[in-house]
Structure 1
């Protein structure tokens, strides 16, 4: 079974999965197509996710602030603690991906709002994504198919992909210039897409969010990166939470007229208004096998009243691809 270790630059588009429910721009790409391409690039581990396969579970709670309620009527911002199941992960379909890889880290959250209501958030530790359209991600996976003669991706195909898909370059540049964190607890995680917050007065505000670690943002030095073993992130997170809870502040960035709402490869200007709207507290971490996060399909379009998607085609596309991957997992494939 082929396992693609994928060079740092090429993991740039490594968000979980993602296909579409609407939008003509995504008609040419389907969820099953993307899942098949991921399988071709990384191989298949039966019963496991096709992307962000390597992961760790965690649990805790979220407490929203009244500052969030000013923008959204979601129960997230009631001020009442909301139970959370979390999953941390590495991009790509290799369950043995090295934790030293200069690839995206993910944090997925499921908030239990009561009465069976849920809110999902699936995030990356890069401020932008590596594809403005689903086809860019599909084309990357196709370019990464191993050459039968070498068992590795064809460098010329990867070079051609980069030259023909400029929307993949901003995230790749960020990954190249920023070493990975020494712990999942020392990274910010970005919602990547634009969302719409709707308050009690039905006022809609375009927003982007991120979770900022209270333990501080840290990056491995080059020497540390070279000396670390392939697996350290899970154990470090478990040990850190044994010392006490780990917290992230949820920070909202308020969009202004002209800010792109349908392109997650373009960052908003840094001078936009930013508001702290809650705190995520995780108190326990554990291996994902048999734990609560393992079977969850963290579909980013599972949203509570007061939070709605933008028209970002990649955001909508993800839901279909997640479903295709989830169906295979349920079938033990």
Structure 2
């Protein structure tokens, strides 16, 4: 029903009905966004509406002393923090091919003790594909398959790209960069701007990414054409059996004038970079029945010392995740 190239236009995640203080209310609702995703991919009962195809992993995170200069979060205490991770492909197709030129996701739940949690929901693209929730919904509407062909109307996709310049940088990155050879060989970006606060309540604007110690590797043109539909999960499982797989958490420190509320705009590459911790995953497994399966990786679940910016897409994602979560719970 869906072309393998369809996900190349896809945004990262299903994008709250309530806008943060001082922001205009979104033109669309989270329920409309989730319904639009269902219009493209259909519904797999009991499963996530977006990033449906995924793999679980477990491990720990250890913060570095350098982080204390920016955040008082218990995430950076220096003690090992248990982590549940989920890797995924964008889109609502549970059988999406692992060669698809769509985003890959890494979602993390950090268990900080005393019931405190920290979530991070990241993509392997340095920018997002929508500056406003409306762009995401408009893309889903443009991608809805024509009943006669089972594929999107090319003219609708063309019109979408012509009328939504905020989507172009994301689409260009996906077109020019082949997918990773393994989940373990990809960087993952927080996409949005966040506010770190230290013990003196001094606030610093940051963006973060997780950089693989195994190095970044992308599929060749030959591999794109020849690999089977499913290989990412098995490669990650086999990699963790060989030994722990690690990513360094790297902060980019914002400067005045850097975009704070637009995830489609990258910060300049010369921003100060600070490594603030290391994620170590020691085991990976299919998601069915595993620890990551029931988690709603709400990006606004944050610990003291880490806070959201006014990015409307970040806030919209939170309630769209909740809408998707409610739907899949009702089907079980």
- State the match for 2:154 in structure 1: 155
In the aligned structure 1, how far is the partner of 2:78 from the partner of 2:313?
A: 31
Equivalent residue of 1:295, what SS? coil
Question: What RMSD over aligned residues (CA atoms) do the two structures have, in Å?
Answer: 1.1
Alignment partners' CA distance in 2, 1:149 and 1:310:
43
Q: Match of 1:328, SS?
A: helix
What's the counterpart of residue 274 of structure 2?
Answer: 275
Kept in 1, the 8 Å contact 2:210–2:250? The answer is yes
SS, match of residue 92 in structure 1: coil
Find the residue that maps to 1:56 and give its secondary structure.
Answer: strand
**Residues in 2 aligned to 1:21 and 1:117: alpha-carbon distance in whole angstroms:** 24
| Residue 16, structure 1, aligned to residue 21, structure 2 | no
Aligned-pair distance for 1:172?
0.5
Specify every segment of 5 or more residues in structure 2 that has no aligned partner in the other structure, as ranges. Answer: none
**Is the contact between residue 253 and residue 273 of structure 1 (CA under 8 Å) also seen in structure 2?**
yes
Q: Are 1:307 and 2:306 an aligned pair? A: yes
Q: Is the 8 A contact 2:5 2:101 kept in 1?
A: no
| 2:255 alignment counterpart | 256
Equivalent residues in 2 for 1:189-228 (5 A)?
189-228=188-227
1:177 aligns with 2:183: no
Superimposed CA distance per residue, residues 28-85 of structure 1 (whole angstroms, 9 cap, x where no aligned partner): 2111000000000111000000000000000000000111111000000000000000
**Mapped contact 1:26–1:134 kept (Cα < 8 A):** no
1:39 counterpart = 2:41: no
Runs of 4+ more than 6 Å apart: none
**2:287 matched residue in structure 1:** 288
How many residues align? The count is 330
In structure 2, distance between residues paired with 1:51 and 1:192? 17
State the shift of 1:21 in Å.
2.5
Unaligned runs of 5+ in 1: none
1:179-229 Cα offsets, whole Å, 9 max, x none, are 111000000000000000000000000000000000001111111111100
TM-score calculated relative to the size of structure 2? 0.97
